Amino acid sequence: MNQQGKLYLIPSSMGEGAVIGLPQYAIEVVHTLDTFVAERAKTARRFLKDIKTPVPFNDMTFYELNKHTDKNERETFLDDIFEGKNMGLLSEAGCPGVADPGAEIVALAHRRGVEVVPFVGPSSILLALMASGMNGQQFAFTGYLPSKPEARIKALKREESQSIAHNQTRIFIETPYRNNALIQDALKHLSPYTRFCIAVDLTLPTQFISTKTIREWQQNPPPDFHKRPAIFLIYNSSQKTYKAKKPPSSKFKGKRRR
């Protein structure tokens, strides 16, 4: 009987020229692998080439995991592990299983009794939180906000309310071509006391990270971040926000005549 293999979770670089990558011990393990699950085989090959894998690509097997992958097919992706092979799970960028479809394969590994081995590597969520100066004790990642303006504004206000209610940093992302629209909505509709962090091109030479209050951003607007990978954080510990003014009372306050 073959000894059962393991599933290694392999963070990949977050863009060309990234300065943060896998530690050497992880690279040494990845160099021994020839079977991978990845969102796109093309991206996986590029990453493996960058870390100078000694295994020829012709000898490798890639299982693609994306929205087009049949559910029944996914259930077979880990079969090679039971033939004694170690396998690697690669994300498109950053950490597998974190805001990433690879979580399905990790869940499958647990159901089938496969040992899961995570490696240290770049995570935009953690890096942005570290660099924001916001509450690192209590935080929540809420993924993508709605794309339609009205729904996005409601979501931003909800994120702010949750931050105030729970003393919590709220972290979210946006499709890069909607970055500027999200920023404009935040500056227009959030409380001037709310701190807003914009983290762009993390780990790349063009990296930009800055935290200011909404009021400060309004006074000194951020540059154009159209189509650049970004992550956003808000935090309001002051419990201060916009309050609607009460309408004047219509009751007659003078002496009542009889």
What is the predicted pLDDT for the residue at 2?
Answer: 64
Picking from 225, 205, 201, the residue whose alpha carbon sits closest to that of residue 93 is 201
Question: Would you say the CATH fold of 124-235 matches that of 6-118?
Answer: no
What is the predicted pLDDT for the residue at 246?
Answer: 46
Give 124-235's CATH code, choosing from 3.30.70.260, 2.40.420.20, 1.10.1040.10, 3.30.950.10: 3.30.950.10
Domains of the chain, residue spans: 6-118, 124-235
What CATH number labels 6-118?
A: 3.40.1010.10
- 251 CB-side CA count, 13 A: 4
Residue 189: helix, strand or coil by DSSP? helix
In tens digits, the chain (258 residues) has pLDDT values of: 568 999 999 999 888 888 778 899 999 999 999 999 999 999 999 999 999 999 999 999 999 998 888 888 999 999 999 999 999 999 988 999 998 899 999 999 999 999 999 999 999 999 999 999 999 999 999 999 999 999 999 999 999 999 999 999 999 999 999 999 999 999 999 999 999 999 999 999 999 999 999 999 999 999 999 999 999 999 998 765 544 444 444 443 444 444
Residue 171: helix, strand or coil by DSSP? strand
> Under the phi-then-psi rule, with left for phi > 0, alpha for psi from -120 to 50, and beta for the rest, what region is 56?
beta
Provide the whole-model pTM.
0.86
CA-CA distance, 54 to 215, in Å (whole number)?
53
